[in-house]
Structure 1
């Protein structure tokens, strides 16, 4: 049995790594940034590498654990994914699962992609939500 791939530990991220500054500012207030306002407090970053950043939701969290998984490559929405992006999306899903385990979501979680107006897409930047830490309901919303 092969050893499981180790997920790198969190580190501070800089705006220039690929996630637009406007996206960062949507989730994090000034007190989450250092004096140079160039880095986000590492307590909000669950994972960061050259392709993906996973952050704890600070606004609009719907569960005790609510992570947002961003590709550093700009992809508008799921319908804009190209064949060349398949490996990136697979890595996002795999890493989201590994980080969910690290966050204690061993009893389950929900992986969500909001798409389009009726899917409650609120920003024009593809991201996954990892939601857990409590018993989730189905259907997720009521009429």
Structure 2
């Protein structure tokens, strides 16, 4: 998607502080962090939202995303104390970029409900 902000990050057209990358996933620091550790984890394949996942995506891409999240949490030293993984879906769910992404938040006590 030529107009997708996150696709531009994947394609290195827009700079980002990348903390993890493999063949399927890119993870980078959020530009407006809500916790001391706040990383966005995205598949390299453009998928508009959680609602747009196909059966193939669920088998082939999403497992890589969660494997990456696990690795990143360990690399950020937040896996022992705990962290949160969030996916916002749609406008009312708080999704602001039309490319599926997961927020990895940690480094402080996270409250519930989130708001």
TM-score normalised according to structure 1 size = 0.69
> What is the CA–CA distance in structure 1 between the aligned matches of 2:25 and 2:72, rounded to whole Å?
12
Structure 1 residue 117: Cα displacement: 1.7
Query: 1:28-57: CA deviations, max 9, x gaps?
Result: xxxxxxxxxx858x9811111121101111
Larger fraction in strand: 2
Instruction: Indicate if the aligned counterparts of 2:4 and 2:99 stay in contact, CA closer than 8 A.
Output: no
Gap regions ≥5 residues in structure 2: none
1:90 is matched with which residue: 27, 42, 63?
Answer: 63
Greater RCO (Cα-Cα under 8 Å, separation 6 or more): 2
Q: Aligned pairs, how many?
A: 112
1:50 is matched with which residue: 20, 23, 35?
Answer: 23
RMSD of aligned alpha carbons:
2.6
> What is the CA–CA distance in structure 1 between the aligned matches of 2:53 and 2:26, rounded to whole Å?
18
> What is the CA–CA distance in structure 2 between the aligned matches of 1:76 and 1:62, rounded to whole Å?
23
2:75 equivalent in structure 1: 102
Gap regions ≥5 residues in structure 1: 1-18, 28-37
Structure of higher CA gyration radius:
1
Structure 1 residue 60: Cα displacement: 1.6
Alignment of 1:124-143 (within 5 A): 124-141=98-115
Query: 1:54-82: CA deviations, max 9, x gaps?
Result: 1111x221000000001111101001100
Instruction: Indicate if the aligned counterparts of 2:7 and 2:44 stay in contact, CA closer than 8 A.
Output: no
Structure 1 residue 125: Cα displacement: 0.7
TM-score normalised according to structure 2 size = 0.85
Structure 1 residue 98: Cα displacement: 1.2
